[in-house]
Amino acid sequence: MKTEIRSNWSHAILVCKKCSRKLAKRGDGFGDSQKPLAKALKKELGAKKGRKAKLGIIEVPCLDICPKKGVVLVDSRTPGQWRIVMPDADIGELARQLREVDE
């Protein structure tokens, strides 16, 4: 049995699933199609599914911040800097910022 599995991820982005769910219940979302943040980021960053993708966008249960009308996001390259993303945020700009951290 394998004890290690290879992945092509350069980093991971953690998105609070609970925050996203709360926004969805209110009818708020991200991007033009009002999607949950994780899906909107995957589309904007061109991230694929699974371990063969260049980066992982993972929805995690709860990060215990719970901002009103926002979603908490953590980039694994900068774990000391958590972000609160509001529904009216420019997803293109957020994706650009997430790309720049690595450059």
> What pLDDT shows up at residue 48?
84
Give the domain extent around 39: 12-100
Please state the pTM of the whole predicted model.
Answer: 0.88
- One digit per residue, the tens of pLDDT, for the chain of length 103 reads 889 999 998 899 999 999 999 998 898 999 888 899 999 999 998 888 888 888 899 999 999 999 999 999 999 999 999 999 999 999 999 999 988 755 5
The domain that contains 94 carries what CATH number? 3.40.30
Q: Is residue 6 part of a domain?
A: no
Q: What is the pLDDT of residue 31?
A: 83
Give the model's pLDDT for residue 24.
86
Cross-strand partners of 13: 57, 75
Question: In the sheet where 12-16 sits, what is the strand order?
Answer: 56-60, 12-16, 71-75, 82-85
Task: Please state the domain count of the chain.
Answer: 1
